[in-house]
Structure 1
Amino acid sequence: MCWAESNEGDGFYWKMSSPDPDAWPVVVRGANGDWSEFPVGAVEFLAGVYRRTIDVPGMPRSFPGDDPKVLG
């Protein structure tokens, strides 16, 4: 199930592999067509990306920038 997309064409999904939604890992479809799975939930995934403790293959090394902002 898709829960987010980037402006560059990346898609962020939950892999609904369990009846328990808290156990669903995050799967990323990069704009280049690569798929990567992360054994964490969405909040932990986003926190790890912004803290730079989770590296998403295919995303620019400069992402996120030094002063990331959430636009809403």
Structure 2
Amino acid sequence: MGVGDKFSNKAEELAGRAKESAGAASGDRDLQAEGQADQGSANLKQGAEKLKDKANEVAGKITGNKD
């Protein structure tokens, strides 16, 4: 996973947390739900990238490539 992807996904997760908190504080359930959805999306992307990294690592071990 590239550093840019990690940063982007973490930024999306943090923005989702902020929306969720703002929605909870103001009683705006739509904003709160939107924040939760943003966090879920970011977590899915992070999981997919980690899985891709692990698959590349395993493939490298099988083929003898370090990168």
**Larger fraction in helix:** 2
**Larger fraction in strand:** 1
Range class of TM-score, shorter chain: under 0.3
Highest RCO, 1 vs 2 (Cα 8 Å, sep ≥ 6): 2
TM-score, scaled relative to structure 2: 0.27
Structure whose CA Rg is larger: 2
TM-score, scaled relative to structure 1: 0.25
